[in-house]
Amino acid sequence: MKKKSKYNVAIMGATGAVGEEMLKILEQRHFPVDKLVLLASARSVGKKYTFKGREIAVQELKEDSFVGMDIVLASAGGSISKKFAPCAVKAGAVVIDNTSAYRMDPKVPLVIPEINPEDIKKHQGIIANPNCSTIIMLVPIFPIHQKNRIKRIMVSTYQAASGAGAKAMQELEDQSRDVLAGRPAKKEIFPHQIAFNLFSHNSAVTDNGYNEEEMKMVKETKKIFHDEKIKIVATTVRVSVFRAHSESIYLELSSKPDMKKIQAILSKAPGVKIVDDRKKNYFPMPLEASGQDDVLVGRLREDISDPKGLCLFVAGDQLRKGAALNAVQIAEIIIR
């Protein structure tokens, strides 16, 4: 891509929860946008959004929608990306794809800017954004991995409704109102009642007993870390929280962790904020992570059953760092 003062940007899936967040972040981070095109399905055509004081109407996503575009931020579903991302690349754009369509493609870089920005250079027109749970886990543990190699990760997630989109967040709100009013909860997005409940992540369960979300965390971590030997096991759970995912993480390190050094590493780590006040019993919470760019990390403690173990708890905004922000950060590196 040629160096410019401003760039033509398209958002594919502009009316979804992540697409709307991408629009906000482009403005908040003063991304040098010349022309902005908002793309969605035919039913959303004409819907208007404000960007830098001017109204922009949504256009229908078509194969010829990318003429003149430099960067395409895609978050419209895997099948849509498979169909339209090649059209965008053919038109000369770089696609930053937020779906699972290309994440495990060996020809497509899978990038978290705080971890492997150098992989961006290897792209052939498409760069993949990792799964939200993977991003929120890896941003705080990678700096530890650099100093004291992680041999094994055991993680349990507490994933908000936001991970399933705007309609899922609305379902949580509607169900909560209905249950409190004594009415039955209506289920449309989730297979089970989400209000005042939790359940195993609503992705398909594979032949090995793990669901797709869990296997994404395993496979994506190995690709991003460039480490096939690292051992990972995940349990992913959907909880009745509107926004921001939380994760309980256990790390088996190569050597005994020095807790002062761990604190020092995390205090300097990009994209991380330590929230760890034992006296006040004050640690990361999804409520406080919502709207923040940093991943909150706390509950830092040695494993009392294993001298090489480290426990921590994190919370991160799934719509921002777990999706839209990560994509925009990749775009910022591309234009630099």
Token duo for residue 316: 């991160």
Catalytic-residue membership of 201: no
Out of 87, 123, 132, 145, which one is annotated catalytic? Answer: 132
The dihedrals phi and psi of 298, each to the nearest 5 degrees, come to -165, -160
Question: Rounded CA gap, 16 and 217, in Å?
Answer: 23
Token duo for residue 102: 């290309």
Catalytic-residue membership of 245: yes
> DSSP per residue over 295-322, as a string?
EEEEEEEE-TT-TTEEEEEEEE-TTIII
List domains and CATH numbers for the chain. 7-130+323-335 (3.40.50.720), 134-318 (3.30.360.10)
What is the pLDDT tens value at each position of the chain, 336 positions in all?
778 899 999 999 999 999 999 999 999 999 999 999 999 999 999 999 999 999 999 999 999 999 999 999 999 999 999 999 999 999 999 999 999 999 999 999 999 999 999 999 999 999 999 999 999 999 999 999 999 999 999 999 999 999 998 899 999 999 999 999 999 999 999 999 999 999 999 999 999 999 999 999 999 999 999 999 999 999 999 999 999 999 999 999 999 999 999 999 999 999 999 999 999 999 999 999 999 999 999 999 999 999 999 999 999 999 999 999 999 999 999 998
E runs forming strands in the chain: 7-12, 33-40, 48-51, 54-57, 59-60, 71-74, 94-97, 126-128, 150-159, 198-200, 231-239, 245-253, 272-274, 295-302, 309-316
17-28 and 325-335 are packed helices; what angle lies between their axes, rounded to 10 degrees?
Answer: 50
Question: Rounded CA gap, 10 and 229, in Å?
Answer: 38
